[in-house]
Amino acid sequence: MDKLILSNGIEIPPIGLGTYPMYGDTLTNSVISAYKAGFRLIDTADNYYNEKDLGESLAKLYEKTSANRNELFIVTKLSDELYPAGTIGGGANRGIYFWKNSSLMQSPNAVRNIIEQKLSNSLQCLKTDYLDALLMHWPYPDYFEEIWYEMERLYKKGIVRSIGVCNCRERHFEKLKVSSEIFPMINQFETSPLNTKFPLLKYCDDHNVKVMIYSPLKSLQYKNQQEYHEYIRKVSEKYGKNPVQIILRFDIQRGMIPIPKSSNAARLQSNINIFDFSLTDEEMDKLMNFNLDLAYMPESRSCPGL
């Protein structure tokens, strides 16, 4: 399982473990099982409200296995508070941070102070003194460039080994071209054979931005796409793999980093057993041709700046 290389020369694993929404013993068991299966990248965010639980899970991982911090690639994100802790989704954005009309953003150094506070809390919760990647969770329109400037500053200080964004399109990167010193190294968003986002993926590839995929298996839930499922099933039978493995292999061969989530040890092992076969060019093209621009996360007030 070869690692990929970010634009700053840092190695990043080609597949990771998603952790939302997992907490407590479920998260701990998942982290330990994932490590034993071969996962080394773990993804979370400050507004998943599970960083503290993940830190406890990592402590148990180090205690119960030969794992150590340096072999893991830990990713977290700077977020607004989109919904109350303990809930999933929640509709309209609450606008606690990163909006000009928020009472918390009225001091001259609000963005810097909030980001430093958030990072300090993330590090404390995750029981680490550095992050492998810090991502901006959404392109918050009121403070997009200012947030990125502060992330650059943290990167230069060495607290984070790499910085990136989530849910950004070409126009957001073009803004950073003008205002930034350091270009994003990662862009995390949702893509699949039913939503290939080819122009954005080409842009990222042309600018040496690695793509990380959340919810990489969402396309398998669209049961009304009968021809798509039949083809996935046909390819699965050919290689002796399951549909999930075919989708993840598709992502890997496109040079992307999928972060599937599971708390089931057998499923985690299955999810990472995708490096012993390759899809043909014809199979990759056929899967690409199922594109419907079927977005899992539509534009809404919960997706600011998209």
Residue 48 falls in the annotated catalytic set: yes
The three state secondary structure string of the chain is: CCCEECCCCCEECCCEEECCCCCHHHHHHHHHHHHHHCCCEEECCHHHCCHHHHHHHHHHHHHHCCCCHHHCEEEEEECCCCCCCCCCCCCCCCCCCCCCCCHHHCCCCHHHHHHHHHHHHHHHHHCCCCECEEEECCCCCCCHHHHHHHHHHHHHHCCECCEEEECCCHHHHHHHHHHCCCCCCEEEECCECCECCHHHHHHHHHCCCEEEECCCCHHHHCCCCHHHHHHHHHHHHHHCCCHHHHHHHHHHHCCCEECCCCCCHHHHHHHHCCCCCCCCHHHHHHHHCCCCCCCCCCCCCCCCCC
Question: Cβ neighbours of residue 230 under 8 Å, at least 6 residues apart?
Answer: none
Check 20, 48, 149, 228 and give the catalytic one. 48
Active site residues: 48
